[in-house]
Amino acid sequence: MIDLSSIKFDEKGLVPVVVQDFHSKQVLMVAYMNSESLNLTLQTGYMYYFSRSRNQIWKKGETSGNYQILKCLKVDCDKDALLAQVEQIGNACHTGNKSCFFTTLYGEESKDDVLKRLMEIIEDRKNNPKEGSYTVYLLKSGLDKILKKIGEESSEVIIAAKNEEKDQVVWEVSDLVYHLSVLLSYLQITWDDIFEHLKSRMKE
């Protein structure tokens, strides 16, 4: 355990906090804490930050319901920055994206990020409906429509596989994964939930 008095707050009494999803290790956001918000976080188990623009302490999720539950708090080697690993309820970003870091300035997204990015797009369509969006149409049509499409796409995967058409299998499986992602979003389940369950099965 680190002595909290050793944390080096800046001249304004603040320390930057990198916030990371405890399970997926995805970086969610960067915020600031003062000593009071840090103590509130440690006392309650919920993430509290200090808003530089509003000059006040705020609890993450207090208005949106997208709370962050502290799982682990680390300090860097210079003791002037924190890493908070959290259980994220809902999305971290006010845009509706899981992470605030969804804009790529340089380089390519790793293949591991494709499903996460797909879910972020689906969540964005759910929270910010766009006219003519097929995703919005599915979500508004409800569970039965989504399940019907999953049934259709599953059948198309089977047919393509039976015919040993590899390119078509790739196409149809991609369609199926998309529709499964819409279902997960509709039921408020994430791919991380699926991955964690798969990990637990691997241990059996």
Give the start-to-end residue ranges of the domains of the chain.
Answer: 4-88, 114-202
CA angle 66, 68, 71 (to 5 degrees): 155
For 47, other C-beta atoms within 10 Å of its C-beta total 27
> Which residue, chain included where needed, has tokens 């188990």?
45
Mean pLDDT of the chain: 92
User: Which residues are CB-neighbours of 54 under 8 A, at least 6 positions away?
Assistant: none
User: Which residues are CB-neighbours of 202 under 8 A, at least 6 positions away?
Assistant: none
**Are the C-beta atoms of 105 and 87 separated by less than 8 Å?**
no
Residue type, 35: S
* Superfamily the domain 114-202 falls into: MazG-like (1.10.287.1080)
For 98, other C-beta atoms within 10 Å of its C-beta total 25
Q: What is d(CA 169, CA 12) in angstroms, rounded to the nearest whole number?
A: 58
**C-alpha atoms less than 13 angstroms from C-alpha of 157 in its C-beta half-sphere:** 14
Determine what percent of the chain is predicted with pLDDT higher than 90: 69
Q: What is d(CA 24, CA 84) in angstroms, rounded to the nearest whole number?
A: 13
pLDDT digits (tens, 9 = 90+) for 36-56: 999 999 999 999 999 999 999
pLDDT digits (tens, 9 = 90+) for 70-99: 999 999 999 999 999 999 998 899 888 788
**Are the C-beta atoms of 139 and 124 separated by less than 8 Å?**
no
Q: What is d(CA 175, CA 186) in angstroms, rounded to the nearest whole number?
A: 17
**Are the C-beta atoms of 58 and 52 separated by less than 8 Å?**
no
- Give the architecture-level CATH label for domain 4-88: Roll (3.10)
pLDDT digits (tens, 9 = 90+) for 121-147: 898 898 888 899 999 999 999 999 999
CA distances from 174 to 91, 118, 133, 180 (A): 24, 11, 18, 10
Show the tokens assigned to 80: 């002037």
Q: What integer pLDDT is reported at residue 81 of this predicted model?
A: 98
